[in-house]
Structures are given as structure tokens and as C-alpha cells.
Structure 1
Amino acid sequence: MRWALGFDIGGTKIEASQISSTGELGRTLRFPVPESTDATVDMIVSMAMDLRRDVQVEGIGFGIPGSLDHLGVLRNAPNSPQIEGIKLGDMLSTRLSGPLYFENDANCLALAEHKFGVAKGFSYVVGVILGTGIGTGVILGDRLFRGAHGWAPEPGHLPLNVQGRICKCGLKGCVEAYLSGPSILARYHECGGGRHVTTTQTLFEVTQDKVAESVLSETRALYTRFLGMLVSVFDPQAIVLGGGLSEQPLFQSVECHEIVANTFGTKETPRVFAAELGAESGKFGAAACVFGRH
């Protein structure tokens, strides 16, 4: 049996598992993220060496909260200050033998569901993470799409409204400025919503609140438009939705014909699925990098 190690490096914990090419899960290790860079790298190395003692692995995949630039430096990982801005690949490759692969969390979702999960058997897949941000991973012709320079796709920063809200990236009207959890809550308060609503979850649960009804209705319409944009650009057979917000009925209620109505000319309706692997997608997607040599 073929084996790989799959790591999920998060903001608060590091988790790693032995994962087979058929999706079987072996031993798993999980530890809180240390406070310093050196201690974090030491922990990753120690976990990898421990898990390699009883299986022969083809390589190690790392699901990371950002992306490696052309110099191997981890970028865009504000929730992981211990490793942001360092040459993570170099630091690990000098201490761990064998092939190492690094992929961001949205790409890991797409890879995991394509190889092991609900999108297995589809060659054209879009994976979307709805949470504190909007992440997207795309499989085209059974291959992960990265673009010419390795950082694509980022449709979460395409404009829904060019004169709209300022996104945290600095641009105006981005998808993320309207559909991420913090943005939905912020829009509610900007429209005069009550101060008693302090979390996105509470906003989804309030009743008899006209501001909430208006904001959530707009959110659903913009979300449907966003999925239509993805269909127009990538023409997927399947869309897989992950992240905490994807579990909300507001997002689950959108039907395929509504998505197609927001496209130009297509008559082919993609399947829309909830992610099957959930919180495990980081590890499984990282392992898929090893087996697929993505």
C-alpha cells in the first residue's frame, strides 16, 4: 500500500496523519502551535519523524495557511505569525528527506475532495471555502490550476461592486468584502443593525429583524452571483463548498438553476456538494499532492 504524510498547519494547532493512496487514515498526531518559529519547525520535524517510523512514505504534504512565493517564503498567513515570512520549505527540506509539497488550504480542499471525497470521478472541480475569508481551489482536467505564476485562482478578490465596500486587501467591492463572515456582520452594523448581534452566527439566527433580513437577502443574491461567476470562468462539473459558513441554510438553499441564471449562455448545470472531508481536507489535500505530484 502507498502512503504519504499529510500535515494541516493551522493558526492554533498542527495536525498530521498517515494517509494511504486509497484514503485510509493511519496514525494521527495533533499539537498546539508553539510560540516561536524555531519551536514550530522543530515540532513539525518531530511529528514527521515519528509518523515515518512505522510506514514507508512517498513524500510529505503540507496544507498551509497562505502560499509560498517563488523564493519559498510563506506569504499571506496573518494567523500564523510563527512561520509567516520565513523560508519554510528550505527550513524543512534540510531536516526531512524525501519530496515535500506545500499547498494552501483552498487548494487542499479541492484536491482532497477530487481524490478522496465527494468530487471523486469529476475532472473539473471548483472548491470554495466560506469562512473568515473566501478561498477557492480549482481542478481543471484532473490537474490543480495555479496560473502562470503559481498564485491563482483568487476569485474572492474579484469585484462584485467596483464602488463597494473596501476589502481588507485594499480593493473595492471584492467578493470577500461581502461574503466572508466578518464582512456580513460588518454590513449588518453599517446598515443600522442592533449592537446585540455580535457574531455572524447570531446574525443568522435573529428573527423579526428587518435589517438582518435585508442584509441576508442581499448576501444570498451576491453569493448566487459569485457561484455564477465561477461557472462562467471555469465551467466545472462540480462545485464543493467547505468552511464554517457553508453549513448555513442561507448558502445551502441556493439551487443549481439559480446559479446558471447568473451565467452567460451555459445550459450545463454543475453539481453542488457540501464538502465530505470537512476539517480533514487540509491533511487529505496535502497527501493528494504527494500521490498526484501536483
Structure 2
Amino acid sequence: MTDGLPMAVPARDLPARVRIHEVGARDGLQNERTVVPTEIKAEFIHRLAGAGLTTIEATSFVHPKWVPQLADAEALFPMLDGVEADLPVLVPNARGLDRAIALGARRVAVFGSATESFSKANLNRTVDESLAMFEPVVSRARDNRMHVRGYLSMCFGDPWEGPVPVHQVVRVARALRDMGCDELSLGDTIGVATPGHVRTLLTELNEAGVPTSALGVHFHDTYGQALANTLAALQHGVTTVDASAGGLGGCPYARSATGNLATEDLVWMLNGLGVETGVDLGLLTATSVWLAERLGRPSPSRTVRALSHKE
């Protein structure tokens, strides 16, 4: 393996530093066909923190019936003591929040949708019904001085409804913000966004009173647009980008969704642009190679393959 890095040519119109919100241990592993042993998940998270990632989404407190791959949340979370990183967890409802509070989690996330079809497929509720379910969860989390993230999926396109009107996304984003979410993650769940669409959505969110500082982006690479879309978001001033080590993950409720933006591919681009991340690309690549060996298949990340000399 080489510690190769791109030549850094800083760009003037970008943030000096980007915080990577690592989702591989939750969003990535929940899509595995077979259950990954808890010990492997714990070591994966420890390794990610050792590579310099400061926000690592650890698990989800969803009912095991719906996501059996994450049924070990109670066993996993205590194994992460000593990890020097923020460890947010997904809480779908009040019961999930109870479980997170009992284990001492300090950062939680709710997962909503900008479209009716996906909301019904994922939550068995309309968009407004899901918002009503989230409101007491967010309120109680805030009462417990927890940081709350609101995921908003299908922000650009929906496999059942097609292109999603920008005003529709803005309405739901504004509702999540108004109920108390500290941060919103805008999800391109099926990977259909393009840079102009990204800039338009971000601009209209700002005009609706949602500041750029409260926004993160979550792109999938279905059509090879994830890095281009990320760059458009950075040029707008976004400083939080979701990514998944090794490009793990997709979405179990949207079959057309392929993998998340690979963290290594993101770090390679940001290194070349002179944007700080605090991430050691060599250690991160080694971590993804290590996990890929345990999953029994090569990493889909182009950067991992290039740096590890595997095709």
C-alpha cells in the first residue's frame, strides 16, 4: 500500500475545513445481507476514529425486526467507550430515544422523507404523520441536552414519484428545523442530483430561513455525480459532508439506490483542493481494506482500490 496523496492546489471559493460525518458503520453495514459480528463493528469504529474521523454514526435504535443487521445496538455501544469521536445514533421514535438515553448517547438523529411515497415505504406514515412522530422525540432529546440531526431523504428524486419539487423539500426541512433539529442532512437517496439542482435547493433553503451552517449533504453515486454535487455544496459554503468508508451502503427501501459517496474518494478530492479534514487517508484506506476482507469482497471505492493496488 502507498501513502500517495494528490498535489494540493487550494481553491479560494471553498471552506478551509470540512467535517466528515462518517456513516459507514450504520448506513453502510445495515445494508449487508449477512449480520456483521458486533466485535467487527466495534473495531471498525475504533479504527475509523484512529484515522482521524471525528463524527462516526455508530448504530440505529430501530426495532430489530426492521433492521436485523443493527439488532446489537445495546451490545455495541458500550464497546465504544474511549472512542475519541462523536458517536451519533439513529432513533426512529420515542422507544428508540429511550434506548439511546439509557446507554448515554449524546447525539441522535431522526430520519424523515421529503416525499409521501418513501415516507410510507420507510416509516409507514405520511410525511406530516412522520413529522408529528418526530416532534416529541426531538423535544425530549433537546430537553436532555442532546444534539439532534434531521435526515431528509429523497431531496432530489424519488423512485416512485420522480423529480422532487424544491419547494416540497424546503417545506419539510423547515418543519424539521422549526421543531428543534440542530442540523439537517440533505439526502440524494437514489443519486439523481446534479450540481445545479444542489445549488438551487441550498439557495432556496437559505431564502426560507435555514442557514447553510445548519446543513449537511449526503450524496449517493448512482450516476457518478456524488463528488461533483459535493463540490457544488462546498462552493455554496456547506462544511458538513456525509460519506461512508469504502463506499459501503445504499438504501434498503429504495432498490435503485447504490452506494454512498466513499469517504476515501471525498478525502482524496479535499486533499487536492487544500481543504482540511483531519483524516489520515492511508489509515482510512487500510481500515476499508481490512473491513472488505472480512466482508469477503473488494471495496467499491476507487481510491481504496488505487491506493491498495487492487482492481
What TM bracket, shorter-length normalisation?
0.3 to 0.5
Give TM-score, length-normalised by structure 1.
0.36
From the CA coordinates, give the structure whose radius of gyration is larger: 1
**TM-score normalised by structure 2 residue count:** 0.34
